[in-house]
Amino acid sequence: MRVGEKVCMAEGPFFGMYGTIVSSLRGRVVLAVLLGSREVLVEIERGWISAAPRRPLISRIENPKLGRRKTG
């Protein structure tokens, strides 16, 4: 993986979050991660990341108060 590439953290304390590779060290990478309205840099193990999908996965959230829409 290269600097500037978007990745997903597959392990560790930031599991499931996305980031951008800022630099690469021996066995570790530094990622820029958006937390709220701030961007922070985190250094994690290289094995904890995987390539991010080209298109973000969007899940539909149901509002229990509104109920589900009827189909058909």
User: 16 in a domain, yes or no?
Assistant: yes
User: 70 in a domain, yes or no?
Assistant: no
User: 39 in a domain, yes or no?
Assistant: yes
Write down the pLDDT at residue 52. 83
Q: How many structural domains compose the chain?
A: 1
Q: How many residues does the chain have?
A: 72
**Cα gap 3→23, rounded to integer Å:** 6
User: 71 in a domain, yes or no?
Assistant: no
Q: Is 5 helix (H, G, I), strand (E, B) or coil?
A: coil
Write down the pLDDT at residue 1. 80
From first to last of its 72 residues, the chain has per-residue pLDDT tens of 889 999 999 998 889 899 999 999 888 999 999 988 899 999 999 999 998 877 655 555 555 555 555 555
Contact 41, 30 (CB under 8 A): yes
Write down the pLDDT at residue 39. 92
Domain with residue 38: its CATH number is: 2.30.30.30
User: 20 in a domain, yes or no?
Assistant: yes
Range of the domain at 13: 6-51
